Amino acid sequence: MLGIIGGTGLAKLADLEVTRREIARTPWGDPSCALTFGRLDGRPVVFLARHGYGHTIAPHDINYRANLWALRDAGVAGVVSVATVGGIGERCVPGAIVVADQIIDYTHGRQGTYFEGPDQPVTHIDFTEPYDPDLRQRLLRAAQRAGETLIDGGVYGCTQGPRLETAAEIRRLQRDGCDLVGMTGMPEAALARELDLPYAVLCVVANHAAGIGDSAQRISLDAMGEVLSAAMGRVRVILSEAAREAESMPGDPSPPV
Ligand code: HPA
């Protein structure tokens, strides 16, 4: 069973056949909202809206630890994150969908580990490749089957938000090698790794980042909304194909259909 975390513009999965909703409790507090169990074109998935169903939780206030813990407890074999981002790299234009392969973390003050507290040994995870290579390939194959074009690879710069960046901040991210900028990629990816959950991201480019292209003077929030609603239908088709393949992921209790 595939876990899906939906970001801005994807608080609900269109056409998800909901079988049940479950309010999960975790030792780390409450997830952003109830988990929605259902079938996407007949394939089992668990969906969680990262910002809550009413989009009320800002990126720095999300309980990432509870969200990943709840999905792990639900028995998912992997998690696909859908993340709305600004585009920095030349190919990362509004409407593009990118399967990022690297992260640079610019956030601060977020609860970024499960290994804390007086009785916990300090634990370092390997994070050389922050995204699961197999799950990334599954997404790329899923898109190919669905006839959708994805960009394979890109560096996701995770900023603190909730404000968007200045043009100078984006120039700095560009110098650092970032292709994309978003606010929720970390610590989500690192927590998934701590739990040994395969994790990958579908980044939906909603706008040119600050100071770039048609965002040279300002970022149009209205235009962002329009790009996102057009792209989410494509995301859904890719997720559905990925869920089909995810049914045969190792550790998955549900038999292939
Ligand atoms: N910056 C950060 N996060 C974002 C952006 C952006 O330009 N667009 C969508 N999410």
Q: The domain spanning residue 134 has which CATH number? A: 3.40.50.1580
Tell me the average pLDDT across 71-99: 97
Confidence of residue 61 (pLDDT cuts 50, 70, 90): very high
CA of 47 relative to ligand 1 center, distance in Å? 22
pLDDT given for residue 67 in this prediction: 98
pLDDT given for residue 254 in this prediction: 46
Instruction: Give the bridge partners for 2, in sequence order.
Output: 45, 78
CA of 64 relative to ligand 1 center, distance in Å? 19
Q: Whose CA is nearest to atom 10 of ligand 1?
A: 85
Q: Whose CA is nearest to atom 9 of ligand 1?
A: 85
Positive or negative: CA dihedral 44, 133, 89, 165: positive
Q: Which of 27, 108, 122 is nearest to 65 (CA)?
A: 27
Show the CA angle centred on residue 162, arms to residues 210 and 239, nearest 5°.
85
Peptide bond into 27 cis (omega under 30): no
Residue 182 Cα: closest atom of ligand 1: 3
Least confident segment among 69-73, 82-86, 172-176, 222-226: 222-226
Q: How many structural domains comprise the chain?
A: 1
Evaluate whether residue 256 is within a structural domain: no
CA of 57 relative to ligand 1 center, distance in Å? 16
Inter-CA distances, 47 with 114, 131, 134, 183, Å: 22, 19, 21, 20
Tell me the average pLDDT across 215-240: 93
Evaluate whether residue 60 is within a structural domain: yes
Q: Whose CA is nearest to atom 6 of ligand 1?
A: 86
CA of 69 relative to ligand 1 center, distance in Å? 26
Is residue 239 within 8 A of residue 13, CB to CB? The reply is yes
CA of 59 relative to ligand 1 center, distance in Å? 11
pLDDT tens digits for range 101-155: 999 999 999 999 999 988 888 899 999 999 999 999 999 999 999 999 999 999 9
Confidence of residue 246 (pLDDT cuts 50, 70, 90): low
Tell me the average pLDDT across 21-50: 95
Evaluate whether residue 250 is within a structural domain: no
What's the alpha-carbon Rg for the chain, to the nearest Å? 17
Evaluate whether residue 110 is within a structural domain: yes
Instruction: Give the bridge partners for 20, in sequence order.
Output: 37
pLDDT given for residue 107 in this prediction: 98
Tell whether the model's pLDDT for residue 229 goes beyond 70. yes
Q: What is the pTM of this model?
A: 0.94
Evaluate whether residue 51 is within a structural domain: yes
Evaluate whether residue 30 is within a structural domain: yes
Q: Which domain holds residue 153?
A: 2-245
Evaluate whether residue 234 is within a structural domain: yes
Mean pLDDT of the chain: 93
Evaluate whether residue 217 is within a structural domain: yes
pLDDT given for residue 256 in this prediction: 40
Q: Read out DSSP for the chain?
A: -EEEEE-TT-SS-TT-EEEEEE---BTTB--SS-EEEEEETTEEEEEEETTTTTT---GGG--HHHHHHHHHHTT-SEEEEEEEEEE-STT--TT-EEE--EEEE---S----S--STTSPP-----SS-S-HHHHHHHHHHHHHHT---EE--EEEE---SSPPPHHHHHHHHHHT-SEEESSSTTHHHHHHHTT--EEEEEEEEEEPTTSGGGSS---HHHHHHHHHHHHHHHHHHHHHHHHHHTTSTT--SPP-
CB-based pocket (< 6 A), ligand 1 = 84-86, 159, 164-165, 181-183, 206-207, 209
Tell me the average pLDDT across 178-198: 98
Tell me the average pLDDT across 31-40: 95
